[in-house]
Amino acid sequence: MRIVSLAEVKAKLSAFLDEAGASGPVVITRNGRAVAVLLAPIDDDDLERLLLSRSPRFRSLLLKARASIQGGKGIHHKEFWESVSRRAAQHPVERDGRRSRGPDKRRSRSAPPAR
Using CA atoms, how far residue 48 sits from 12, 17, 75, 79, 105, in Å, is 27, 19, 26, 26, 31
Residue 54, domain extent:
43-89
Band (73; pLDDT cuts 50, 70, 90): confident
17 occurs within a structural domain: yes
User: Do 56 and 35 belong together in one domain?
Assistant: no
pLDDT tens track for 36-70:
999 999 999 999 999 999 999 999 999 999 999 89
Q: Is residue 111 over pLDDT 70?
A: no
Q: Is residue 92 over pLDDT 90?
A: no
Q: Is residue 18 over pLDDT 70?
A: yes
Helix/strand/coil (H/E/C) assignment for every residue in 9-72: HHHCHHHHHHHHHHHCCEEEEECCEEEEEECCCCCHHHHHHHHHHCCHHHHHHHHHHHHHHHCC
Query: How many structural domains compose the chain?
Result: 2
Predicted TM-score (pTM) above 0.75:
no
Per the CB < 8 A criterion, the answer to whether 38 and 25 are in contact is yes
User: Do 50 and 34 belong together in one domain?
Assistant: no
Q: Is residue 21 over pLDDT 90?
A: yes
Band (26; pLDDT cuts 50, 70, 90): very high
pLDDT tens track for 1-15:
999 999 999 999 999
